[in-house]
Amino acid sequence: MKNNLSNIKKAIKYLNKNECVGIPTETVYGLAANAYSSIATAKIFKLKKRPKKNPLIVHYFDLKMLEKDCKINDIFLRLYKEYSPGPISYILKIKKKSLISKNVTNNKNTLAVRFPSHKLTRNLLKQLNYPLAAPSANISTKISPVSKKDVKEEFGKKLNMILDGGQSKIGVESTIISLINKPKVLRLGGIPKHQIKKYLKFNLAYQKKSKIKSPGQEKIHYSPHIKLRLNIKNPNKNEAFILIKKRKKMNTNYFYLSKKNNLKEAAKNLYKTLRLIKNKKFKSIAVEKIPNKGFGEVINDRLKRASNFK
Ligand code: AMP
Ligand code: MG
């Protein structure tokens, strides 16, 4: 803990100097910078090689901080009480007097916001007088990082500091819900859609494609940049095979996402497994059919986009 405190101090120093810092969250690791600074947020786009038109999610400690930047509505408050801090992001209207950099919103009047639950990052956010813009800490279109080591693999010496918060517990990105008009889910993620629907007690639309081009909706994304085939029963001989159900036979090219056929555990291990396969230099990946329910729906969404890499 003592070690963490001095690391947080060091992270604050970098952030105050408009530098980027890798931060742990329960979903995936983020590449964080002062959301009020155009100099700092421009560095996120440069490091990630991210198209400028893709807006960023801004991370807050609490409602008090959020109210400086966003207009708040009743459905937001209901969802906030139930799910935040946690793996859910909300799209809200931005206030005119907000100091959020135009880089973050791509000049639009809406803002994606989240309250991460990871202790270390909450501790960091609490000590800052600005929120943190933080997309996933990976090069655009590639696999999201779920540990400090993964972030290092993405950026090497280009990134001066990464806070170490262990492996991300959820392992996939946040669920994004737009609260601008009728609530609708824009990206499947850490909180299953059916759960939110049950809680709100009304039908919740899922809009896969939005007018705002965003990374979570890009055709190729979450990809190890290796050919990937879905719904495969029998893989080729030299192909990595991603499985969810235990088989009698165990081969060196088999990679289990879950020990007990548990979809939440499988989601947690997804990016870690894809990265392991990439680092083992496999040329092709086959994936067993994954049930399309709960976290299985999230896994399938990410794998579908990864499979667009040819
Ligand atoms: P990531 O790079 O993983 O943090 O993903 C950022 C996500 O934020 C994208 O997938 C977008 O869907 C979403 N996003 C950010 N700002 C907005 C916005 N104003 N409207 C709609 N989606 C947004
Ligand atoms: Mg991302």
Is 173 close to ligand 1, i.e. is its CB under 6 Å away? Answer: yes
260 vs 244: CA distance, rounded Å? 8
Q: Would you state the pLDDT for residue 5?
A: 84
- Residue of 23, 54, 206 best suited for mutating to test ligand 1, as the one with most atoms within 8 Å of CB: 54
Atom 10 of ligand 1, nearest CA residue: 216
- Residue of 44, 139, 186 best suited for mutating to test ligand 1, as the one with most atoms within 8 Å of CB: 186
Ligand nearest to the backbone CA of 132? 1
- Distance of CA 232 from the midpoint of ligand 1 (Å): 31
Is 264 close to ligand 1, i.e. is its CB under 6 Å away? Answer: no
- Distance of CA 58 from the midpoint of ligand 1 (Å): 9
Q: Would you state the pLDDT for residue 215?
A: 47
Is 48 close to ligand 1, i.e. is its CB under 6 Å away? Answer: no
- Distance of CA 248 from the midpoint of ligand 2 (Å): 36
Q: Would you state the pLDDT for residue 217?
A: 52
pLDDT tens for the 310 residues of the chain, in order: 557 889 999 999 999 999 999 999 999 999 999 999 999 999 999 999 999 999 999 999 999 999 999 999 999 999 999 999 999 999 999 999 999 999 999 999 999 999 999 999 999 999 999 999 999 999 999 999 999 999 999 999 999 999 999 999 999 999 999 999 999 999 999 999 999 999 999 989 999 865 554 445 567 788 899 999 999 999 999 999 999 987 777 789 999 999 888 999 999 999 999 999 999 999 999 999 999 999 999 999 999 999 998 7
The Cβ-side half-sphere exposure at 239, using a 13 Å CA radius, reads 19
Q: Which residues surround ligand 2, an ion (CB under 5 A)?
A: 136, 215
Is 136 close to ligand 1, i.e. is its CB under 6 Å away? Answer: yes
* Structural domains of the chain ordered from first start: 5-206 (3.90.870.10), 227-307 (no CATH)
* C-alpha torsion 112→118→120→122, nearest 10: 50
Ligand nearest to the backbone CA of 143? 2
Cut 0.75: pTM above it: yes
Atom 4 of ligand 1, nearest CA residue: 135
Is 212 close to ligand 1, i.e. is its CB under 6 Å away? Answer: yes
Ligand nearest to the backbone CA of 214? 1
- Residue of 26, 57, 95, 217 best suited for mutating to test ligand 1, as the one with most atoms within 8 Å of CB: 57
SS (H, E, C) the chain: CHHHHHHHHHHHHHHHCCCCEEECCCCCCEEEEECCCHHHHHHHHHHHCCCCCCCCEEECCCHHHHCCCECCCHHHHHHHHHHCCCCEEEEEEECCCCCCCHHHHCCCCEEEEECCCCHHHHHHHHCCCCCEECCECCCCCECCCCCHHHHHHHHHHHCCCECCCCCCCCCCCCEEEECCCCCEEEECCCCCHHHHHHHHCCCCEECCCCCCCCHHHCCCCCECCCEEECCCCCCCCCCEEEECCCCCCCCCCEEECCCCCCHHHHHHHHHHHHHHHHHCCCCEEEECCCCCCCHHHHHHHHHHHHCCCC
